[in-house]
Structure 1
Amino acid sequence: MRVTVPTVDVTAVPEDGLLLDVREHDEWAAGHAEDALHIPMSEFVDRYDEVTEAVGGGRRVHVVCRVGGRSAQVTQYLIGHGFDAVNVDGGMLAWEAAGRPLIADSSDPAHIL
């Protein structure tokens, strides 16, 4: 049985919402949302407590990667552990295309890898 992962459009992610970016370090450094929580999928299980701390009073977790595959897996994991989580449809590529703000960890202009 295939489970459908709930998704939201990038425009539906509130500016003060909890955005969990599960891309790898090089992807993050090239361009990311300013207030996102960065926990690469490869480190997610080891850093799971950071998500619990960030959620606090039951905030919805908006999970994002480059296009949506990795974030869908993490969203499914979080839902299975009782979180209110949704996958951001189209990932950071859609975020960038929608004109949502990006910053980079270098002097180069922010872009999505």
Structure 2
Amino acid sequence: MLLDVREADEYRAGHAPGALHLPLSRLAADADVPGSQGGRSLVLICRSGSRSQDAARLLADRGVASVDVIGGLRDWAEQGLPVRDAHGRAGVVI
């Protein structure tokens, strides 16, 4: 499960198709993590990889295993992988 930990305006502007949105700020406030109990692997993404690393550490402290996308959505887009906005159109990474 791909979990985007950026803030709402960033997510709406452009995200990986199928990514769920849970901002790091909510994660730090102990928000429930979707899928963390279902045995599904969590893959975390942000713009550059910094916030997703912070999120991975927070989750590890809770006993939830995850990995982060090194280079974040910026590198994702540079590799030609799709980025969609809140309406499903071509998005941008901000």
Q: Does TM-score exceed 0.5, indicating one fold? A: yes
Deviation of residue 35 (structure 1)?
1.1
8 Å CA contact retained: 2:49, 2:69: yes
The match for 2:38 among 48, 57, 67 is 57
Query: What are the superposed Cα offsets for residues 26-79 of structure 1, whole Å, 9 maximum, x if unpaired?
Result: 111111012111011122244622x1x423421111111100111111101111
Tell me which residue corresponds to 2:24.
Answer: 41
TM-score by length of 1: 0.73
Residue number in structure 1 paired with 2:53: 72
TM, length-normalised to structure 2: 0.86
Q: Which moved more, 1:40-49 or 1:74-83?
A: 40-49
**Secondary structure at 1:54's aligned position in 2?**
coil
Answering whether residue 11 of structure 2 is matched by residue 28 of structure 1, we say yes
Structure 1 stretches of 4+ with a deviation exceeding 3 A read 106-109
- The 3-state SS of whatever aligns with 2:35 is helix
Q: Tell me, what secondary structure is at the counterpart of 1:28?
A: helix
For residues 71 and 38 of structure 1, the distance between their equivalents in structure 2, rounded to whole angstroms, comes to 12
Flag structure 1 segments of 5+ consecutive residues without an equivalent. Answer: 1-17
Q: Does 1:105 align with 2:82?
A: no
- 1:86 to partner: Cα distance: 0.7
Aligned length: 94
RMSD: 1.8
Q: Which has the larger radius of gyration?
A: 1
Cα distance in 1 for residues equivalent to 2:61 and 2:88: 39
